[in-house]
């Protein structure tokens, strides 16, 4: 802040999506649990209403403020290609689904019940600037000052996938049908389909005997999601599911692209998918988001206690794991046709516990060895050395 200028807030959170709302809920939960004073926090969000725009899936193996909101858990998960399949099972760490509307409702109620948290909807931020010992946030309605800012917007430009990585593009439908016939205890994570130029698969979650969440997903080098809906509808037809009602749809293009994480200035730090928090090799973000926002909330409460604001980006995962992911993506870019073989080998050659730790960003060295041992060495050695 410029000398003599009082901040409007201790902290401003730019964007109240998964990361912004998780941070707000962690702040409230941890301040209550440890008897720490809550900072004065304002969240700025352009959306004026929240809709059920996505579902979050992850392996249910950690505590977070939204765990009670999980609606579905599958104790088996499988990867398949044609007649081949690899199945893993665990009662301890099932695959879980949390619908966005439940999370949004819970987080908005949490903010409403806490006088130190304010959510301003309909507020679009155009820029965030460091200023003296704080930061200035410019919105379309004016400017605000804070001791620190956490910015969860996507950056204006993302690194291209021209060299490394993919765009994960998908369209999903939640459908109701008379009887789909899929086993409701098994989540089908990847059922590989014949696509000539890139890996593509069907992701299918039987919600109950009459409801399915089903997605057509492709790993593409171009940012192009044009035909995934028609591909999905054709697949449903081929699978004999043609008498159904669409209850909800979701689609996206997610960057499976390794991003350099900025250190930030201590006063302004970036968070969320736009800051490279999503796991590039998997497209999963929920678990690392909970770990990252918890770590940030701990720092913010300590900064507020001390009156010294200097925030550091959280450590989300080990550096060697990020290196493994880069090698994996590089190898997959060179051999997209081998995706079914490699994913089947991964799930067949590891245990459910190893895989759930690996997918939720918390593998130990033994898990990494099991993962590496499950894959054919030559293409990965070449990718590692290139
Ligand atoms: C359909 C879909 C399904 C997904 N499924 C999964 C899944 O199953 N598992 C998983 O781990 N991940 C999943 N993801 C990936 C990831 O978890 C989500 O994208 C998640 O919402 C990202 O969190 P975020 O906070 O980074 O971004 P967002 O949740 O998008 O939040 C960013 C916020 O910033 C706001 N904003 C944008 N511009 C401005 C501005 N100028 N000023 C102020 N605010 C602004 C936005 O309105 C938004 O609310 C999915 C993503 C999508 C889109």
> Which residues, judged by CB distance below 6 Å to any ligand atom, belong to the binding site of ligand 1?
14-19, 44-47, 54-58, 124-125, 152-153, 250, 252, 254, 272-274, 284-286
Query: Could you tell me if residue 23 is inside a domain?
Result: yes
Closest CA to 256 of 228, 285, 293: 285
CA of 18 to the centre of ligand 1 (A): 6
Query: Could you tell me if residue 126 is inside a domain?
Result: yes
Among 256, 272, 295, where does a domain finish? 256
The model's pLDDT over 3-13, given as tens digits with 9 standing for 90+, comes to 667 789 999 99
**Sign of the torsion formed by the C-alpha atoms of 178, 180, 181 and 187:** negative
**SS3 of the chain: helix, strand, coil, percent, to 5:** 30, 30, 35
Q: Are residues 337 and 239 in the same domain?
A: no
Neighbours of 283 (CB within 10 A): 18
Give residue 376's pLDDT.
94
- Percent of the chain, pLDDT > 70? 97
Query: Could you tell me if residue 277 is inside a domain?
Result: yes
Query: Could you tell me if residue 72 is inside a domain?
Result: no
Query: Could you tell me if residue 331 is inside a domain?
Result: yes
The model's pLDDT over 112-142, given as tens digits with 9 standing for 90+, comes to 999 999 999 999 999 999 998 899 999 998 9
The model's pLDDT over 243-264, given as tens digits with 9 standing for 90+, comes to 999 999 999 999 898 887 777 7
Q: Are residues 43 and 185 in the same domain?
A: no
Query: Could you tell me if residue 349 is inside a domain?
Result: yes
The model's pLDDT over 165-210, given as tens digits with 9 standing for 90+, comes to 899 999 999 999 998 999 999 999 999 999 878 999 999 999 999 9
Total structural domains within the chain: 3
Query: Could you tell me if residue 284 is inside a domain?
Result: yes
Give residue 341's pLDDT.
97
Query: Could you tell me if residue 63 is inside a domain?
Result: no
Q: Are residues 128 and 277 in the same domain?
A: yes
Confidence of residue 265 (pLDDT cuts 50, 70, 90): confident
Provide the domain limits for residue 353: 319-385
Give the number of the atom of ligand 1 that is nearest the alpha carbon of residue 97.
Answer: 8
3-state class (DSSP) for residue 41: strand
Among 271, 306, 341, where does a domain finish? 306
CA of 285 to the centre of ligand 1 (A): 9
């Amino acid at each position: 802040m410029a000398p003599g200028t009082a901040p409007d807030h201790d902290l401003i959170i730019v964007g109240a999506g998964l990361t912004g709302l998780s941070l707000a809920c962690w702040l409230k939960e941890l301040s209550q649990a440890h008897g720490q004073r809550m900072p004065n926090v304002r969240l700025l969000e352009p959306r004026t209403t929240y809709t059920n725009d996505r579902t979050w899936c992850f392996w249910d193996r950690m505590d977070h403020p939204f765990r009670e909101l999980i609606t579905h858990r599958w104790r088996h998960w499988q990867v398949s290609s044609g007649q081949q399949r690899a199945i893993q099972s665990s009662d301890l760490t099932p695959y879980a689904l949390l619908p966005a509307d439940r999370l949004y409702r819970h987080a908005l109620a949490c903010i409403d019940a806490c006088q130190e948290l304010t959510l301003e909807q309909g507020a679009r931020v155009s820029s965030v600037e460091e200023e003296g010992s704080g930061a200035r946030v410019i919105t379309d309605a004016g400017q605000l000052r804070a001791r620190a800012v956490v910015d969860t917007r996507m950056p204006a430009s993302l690194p291209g996938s021209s060299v490394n990585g993919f765009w994960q593009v998908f369209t999903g439908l939640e459908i109701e049908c008379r009887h789909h016939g899929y086993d409701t205890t098994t989540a089908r994570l990847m059922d590989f389909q014949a696509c000539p130029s890139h890996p593509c698969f069907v992701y299918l979650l039987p919600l109950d005997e009459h409801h399915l969440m089903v997605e057509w997903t492709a790993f593409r080098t171009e940012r192009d999601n044009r035909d995934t809906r028609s591909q999905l509808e054709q697949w449903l037809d081929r699978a004999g599911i043609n008498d159904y009602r669409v209850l909800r749809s979701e689609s996206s293009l997610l960057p499976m692209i390794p991003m350099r994480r900025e250190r930030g200035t201590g006063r302004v730090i970036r968070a969320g998918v736009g800051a490279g928090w999503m796991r590039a090799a998997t497209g999963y973000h929920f678990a690392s988001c909970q770990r990252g926002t918890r770590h940030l909330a701990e720092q913010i409460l300590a900064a507020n206690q001390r009156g010294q604001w200097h925030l550091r980006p959280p450590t989300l995962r080990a550096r060697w794991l990020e290196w493994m992911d880069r090698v994996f993506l590089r190898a997959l870019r060179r051999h997209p046709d081998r995706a079914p073989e490699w994913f089947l080998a991964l799930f067949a050659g590891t245990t459910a516990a190893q895989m759930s730790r690996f997918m939720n960003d918390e593998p130990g060295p033994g898990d990494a060895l099991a993962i590496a041992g499950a894959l054919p060495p030559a293409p990965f050695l070449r990718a590692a050395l290139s």
